[in-house]
Structure formats: C-alpha cells, structure tokens
A and B are shown apart, each in its own frame.
Chain A
Amino acid sequence: MSERAALAATLYRRVYRIRRAEQAIIAHYGENGMKTPMHMSMGEEAIAAGVCTALARGDKLFGYYRSHALYLARTDETERFFGEMYGKADGAVGGRGGSMHLAAPDVGLLAVSAIVASTIAPAVGAAFAERARGTGNVVAAFFGDGAMEEGVFWESLNVACVYRLPIVFVCEDNGLAVDVTAMERQGFRSIKKAVAGFACDYAGANTTDALKIHQLATAARASTLATGRPVFLHLKYYRLLQHIGIQSDFDGAAPGFEKTGYRSRAEYEKARRRDPVRIARLAAARNGCTVAEIKAIEAEIDREVDASLAKARHSAAPDPCTVTDHVFAPTEDTARMERTPPMERTA
C-alpha cells in the first residue's frame, strides 16, 4: 500500500469508527443503559479524524461537549468509550464524566468540558508548558463557533498571541448554537475577519474531505512550531443531528430541544450527499485502497464496536464507596483529612 493509500485508509478507519460507534449509540440509547446526555458528532467526523491524524504523539488536545469524534479519533478504541457511555468502572474516566467529559490523558486528550469555551484557556496553558519544556509538541484546542461569543475565547486567543505559543485553535463551525444561527448571535459576519487583527495565522475550509483537513492541519501544526504564531483553523461542517440527543431534525423524527423549521430539508439533503464517511470511503478507493481492503476495515470496526458495546453493558458499575475517591491527589498531608470522630458527650 502506498503512503497516500495508507493515509487514506487510516482516515477512513477513524471516520468509520466514529460513525459506527454513534450508530450503536442510536440503536441502544432507548434501552436507557446509557444515562448521559449525548451531543452527537455526526457530520464532524472528518475534522476530528483529519486533525488528529495530522498531530504528533506528544501533542495535547482539548475538546468540548461534542467530542465523541475527538476521543475516538485520538484513542482508536471503543471499549473504554462505551464503558463511559454506560457509566461503568472501566469507562474512559471511570463513570465520572460520561459523554460530555471524556478524557484520555495517556494519549494527550487532557480535558473536555460541558461549558462552552472553557477548555480553550487550559489549552493555552498547556501550550505554554510545551514551549517551556522545549518539547516541540503543539496543542490543538477544539471548540464550536458558539465559543467565539464567550469572553474567555478572546482572552485565550489574546494570551496565546502575546506569549507566541504553539497552538492550533480548531473552530468546528456548524453555524448553530442549539437552534440559533450565527447571524442571530454574532456581531461580526466573518470569523476570518474577526480574528484577523490578532497576531495569529488563519486557515479555513468548508469541506467534508478528511484528506484535505489533514493537509490543512499538518500545515497549521508545522506553521505554529516554525513561526511561534498561533494558528486559527476554521473548519465548517453540517451538524447532521439535533443539538442534543440522537434524533435528526428530519426523517420523521420527533421534535427535540430545538424550535422547528430552523433549517431546511434541502440543506440537510445536500449535507447527506457530502457525508464525511462517504467522502472518506471514496477517497480511500481513489487513493489506492482496494474494495477488499475497505471492506476489511469496515468488518474489523463493526466487530470491535459490537464487542465493546456488549462488554460495556455487562461490565461492573463503579463501587458506590468510591464516590469521594480522587477528589484530592494523595499527598502526605491529606491522609489526616478524614473527619475526626465526635467528642464524647458528657452533658
């Protein structure tokens, strides 16, 4: 397999794993075993796969509540993912985080937050640490277009530019905050122009092609390391499902959290035709993967997802006695912190 074919195969494998995992969530969410609010990634798979594949082993990543894709693309595993969805002791964070707080510190996915824009500031601090330690690693901070309405986004961009840190700000722009369009929320018409005044570089695309995103992210990573200027990577996508939950706005779905009619069926159909999974499959074939190779990838992922889901459903729940474990890191001093017993009552 050529280098190009291998890359296309890797991207397809990642995109397909994300999609299959979320299809499994949809199939089983109604059984009420996964008691965690789902913010589904369907539609953004190419961004997670493209950027993660461009990053190096030591790079650090920060996400937000819509981070199934980010977690799966970075970890290449589904066992701990489903463990966390089912709130099990062997979940990604032991049943302490659920869908909105996935993390995988062992591979550099350090934090995922349920509050818009909240991980962007820690991402900047992590980039400072990489530079201070002279590692040659970068940080990728993922957020949605809604984060740009938060003060802490601008503060963080400002700090990263002042300190000239190795960071890529990855804006996953679906144009919606729940069901409110960018026009209704933002006092600027162009994200590119809004960040143009900062000492950072901008790159952007409106594509569902993971290969193109990989190329952009590779360049962004190299650029921030070479120049010391942060890069703002602006990637548009279409959110295929509702803001929260497993429903589409179309296909006879029940109304969700959103108002009705906030986007059109024509737009949705257009997005379906450029579905990132379909595009990645075509790209794999175009770049030299055989049909047999593609089908082998799919079969392997199908087995992996089914096995992970089955394992998660039957694995042990966390022990209730551990509810206060890990509130503090162990130190010499915390051993004494247990509440002392009451004094003997003499009156």
Chain B
Amino acid sequence: MTTATIAAPAETAPRHAGASQGANGTRQAARLLSYGDALNEALHQEMARDERVFVYGIETKAFGSLRGLAERFGPARLLTTPICEEAMTGFGLGAAINGLRPVHVHIRVDFFLLAMNQLANMIAGFHYGVVGELPVPLVIRAIVGRGWGQGFQHSKSLQSIFAHFPGLKVIMPTTAYDAKGMLTAAIRDDNPVVSIEHRWLYWQEGEVPEAPYTVPIGPGRVLRDGGDVTIVATSWMNVEAVQAADILARRGVSVEVVDVRTLAPLDDTVMVESVAKTGRCVVADCDWVSYGASAEIAARIGEKAFGRLKAPIERVGFAPAPCPTARELENAFYPNAGTLVRAAERTLGLSPADLSGENFYSHERRFTGPF
C-alpha cells in the first residue's frame, strides 16, 4: 500500500452513511479533498449558512482546518482565546444556551483535561437538568494522535472518557467525506458533540461533494466488504485496518472493515451485523485497551452476536504505558496494520505470516521534523 487514501464509494456512502443528496437530488461530481480541507469547508459553509456559528481556540490554525475563517468572517467569529481551558469550555456552554452555536477547538486533546469539570459536571448534564428547556448546540473538536516525538502529554486519545458521560455525543470521523458531513451534522445538532480528529487523517484525501451535506451522527459504516473476519475500528485505525485487509487478502482471507464513526450514543447495528456474518472480530481503537472504547464495543458484540462468534474477540490498542518519545519506543507503543494482521490470524487460527516485506505507515511517509 503506497497511499492510505480512503474514498467513499458511490454505492457505499449513501447506503451506510445516509449521505444527503445535493439540492437538485443528483449526486455531486467526484472531487478529491483532504480531511483537513473537508473540515475547513464544513466550517466555511456552516458559518455562512448560520450567523450564530462561531469558532474559537487557543490558536486559530488547527492544522489548517480554520484557514480563511478570520479573513472571511472577522475576529468576532473566529476568536483567539486566553489560555484558560476550563473557562473557555464553560464559555462555550454559556454561549450555546444563550443563542449561539460555538465550535471550540483544542489542538491537543490532552489540554481538554483541564476543562473536564465544565465538560463532565456542567455540559453533559445540562439539558437533562433543565428538563429539556434549553438545548446545548456546542461542538468541541479535539485533535488527537501520534505526533513526532510528542510524548505523553501531547498524544492521548480520550474518546472513551468523553463517551462515558450521558449527554455527550462523541464522533470520530475517519474519511474526508465523513469529516465534512459529520462536522456539519455536529454544528446543526442541538446537543454537545465532541469530535475526535486524528491528526494523521488530516492529510488523507477522499471524495467530498462541494455542496453542504450531513452524515448522521449514529450509525457506523462498512468501509470494506469481506466475509472471514471483521475489524471494527475507530478513526486512524481504519487506515491501518484497510492495509491489514490488503495484506490478509493475499493469503486469501477476506476482511470486513467497520468504521464505528460515532462512539456515543453507540449505535452498534452495523458492527453487530458484520460480526454475525463473519463470526470473527478484532476491535481496533487508537487508545488504551483497558476500559477503552474497544471494551464497550467488544461487550456490545458479545451481548448481541454471542451465538455467531466462532472465536474470542481480539482487541488492539496502545501499549499499557504512557506514550514515550524515542522512535523505537513510540513504534512499540502504537499498533499498526501488522498488529492487526497478527490479531486477525489469532481469531482465524492461522500461523503468523511473514510481514518483513511490508511497508507500514510511518511519520516519514508525510511528516519529517524538526518543527
């Protein structure tokens, strides 16, 4: 595999994604856009569509996803904030319950931990606590993922923590198509939505219609059809899963890849249907395994497809350690397509294949330091 491009095939996207058609009811012409540019286009279109939408963060670039917003909409709708994470998160709640539709951007999810009081104690329960009298149309985008020697305070993925609190929606778009459609849906949603965006996905290209559209928050999606084993993956792990599927295909193993897309509330229909078909399941999350999203997903599959399972569910995630910085340790910390191949082989009872000739995805494919 030389690129990790994931397109949204014409027959797949509407079936599983429920993609909206263009205004004239016809499908838009194919156009390739990067994930970061797709997010940027969603923000441009939603800010133009609805003057209540505004964006803010401690820096106003966010890996290119905020490009052009200040020039087009002015500083009152693209705010640079003081380094006050808790206050600015509560600020988003206050603005959301008082007539605006804020989009808050954290360039590292680790910084979001400073705001957990507002998120967990104020935002998650707010709508419930006023018996539905005030909606909370707040989007919090948090960028996660593997950096370049970023270490243990710049590299977390905290999706399972956010997904634990009733009242928060948590999305993890993987493709450029979903990035635009799900961010658009999140901005139009009357609930607080946490969007977890893996920074390596920002360079991934995919087919993205130019006209505004929404991808529903909720259902997962089959990214690749297969019959022997299901890999249920979140975010970047879908890219690794597709590569693992390519490798396994050469051994005659057909892998189905299911992109979870929305972690909370978790609609498990697509993943359960897939495992019911294949009977084997690997759950791949870009996070720690213990108490992580992979635990919830495995539990759901165990509850709902128990009778169809032919082997124990395998889980793949980060090594149970804080994230180290040295490249050799970093490589041992993060799972990749090779890790997924091994997990799939275990569920299938296959001997380990020789992976020495494989070219796995790495920083050097795209990013080289120093900053």
Contacts and interface: CB of A to CB of B under 8 A. Distances in A.
Contacts of B267: 336-337, 340
Contact of B219 (A125, A130, A336, A343): A336
A124 interface: yes
B121 interface: yes
Contacts of B130: 93, 103, 105, 111
A224 interface: no
Contact of B91 (A124, A346, A347): A124
Given A105-B130, A111-B126, A128-B94, 5 more contacts: A121-B86, A121-B93, A328-B191, A336-B218, A340-B304
B274 to A, nearest CB: 11
B142 to A, nearest CB: 18
Interface string B289-321: 000000000000001111111000000000000
A125 B117 contact: no
Contacts of B82: 155, 158-159, 162
A52 B284 CA distance: 54
A121 B122 CA distance: 10
Contact of B94 (A126, A155, A325): A126
Given A101-B129, A155-B86, A328 B97 contact: no
A326 B130 CA distance: 9
Interface string A308-347: 0000000000000000111111111110110111111111
A327 B98 contact: no
17 contacts: A101-B129, A106-B133, A110-B97, A122-B90, A124-B87, A124-B94, A125-B90, A126-B95, A126-B97, A129-B94, A333-B218, A336-B218, A336-B267, A337-B267, A342-B306, A343-B304, A347-B306
Contacts of B40: none
Contact of B133 (A105, A331, A342, A344): A105
Contacts of A344: 307
A93 B127 CA distance: 10
A122 B216 contact: no
A346 B131 CA distance: 42
Given A124-B94, A133-B99, A93 B129 contact: yes
A152 B82 CA distance: 12
A331 B132 CA distance: 12
Given A129-B95, A159-B81, A93 B131 contact: yes
B93 A326 contact: no
Nearest to B123: A122
Contacts of B34: none
Contacts of B100: 128-129, 132-133
A98 to B, nearest CB: 10
A96 B167 CA distance: 14
Given A94-B131, A162-B82, A328-B127, A125 B307 contact: no
A67 interface: no
A328 B167 contact: yes
Interface in A103-154: 103, 105-106, 110-111, 113, 115, 118-130, 132-133, 139, 151-152
B62 interface: no
Listed from nearest, the 7 A-B pairs whose CB atoms lie closest are A121-B90, A125-B94, A345-B307, A155-B87, A122-B94, A125-B91, A155-B84
B13 to A, nearest CB: 16
A329 B136 contact: yes
Interface of B: 54, 76, 79, 81-82, 84, 86-100, 102, 117-118, 121-122, 126-136, 166-167, 169, 185, 189-191, 216-219, 265, 267-269, 272, 276, 303-309
A101 B217 CA distance: 30
Nearest to A162: B82
Nearest to A121: B90
A151 B118 CA distance: 13
Given A118-B117, A325-B132, A328-B167, A129 B98 contact: yes
Given A132-B76, A328-B167, A345-B307, A121 B81 contact: no
Nearest to A94: B131
A88 interface: no
Contact of A346 (B90, B126, B307): B307
Given A333-B218, A337-B265, A122 B93 contact: yes
Given A336-B219, A344-B307, A346-B307, A121 B91 contact: yes
A101 B122 CA distance: 11
A344 B189 CA distance: 34
Nearest to B80: A162
B98 A60 contact: yes
Contacts of A60: 98
A41 interface: no
A265 B349 CA distance: 80
Interface string A172-203: 00000000000000000000000000000000
A326 B132 contact: yes
A156 interface: yes
A118 B121 contact: yes
Interface string A226-265: 0000000000000000000000000000000000000000
A120 B191 CA distance: 21
A122 to B, nearest CB: 3
A127 B131 contact: no
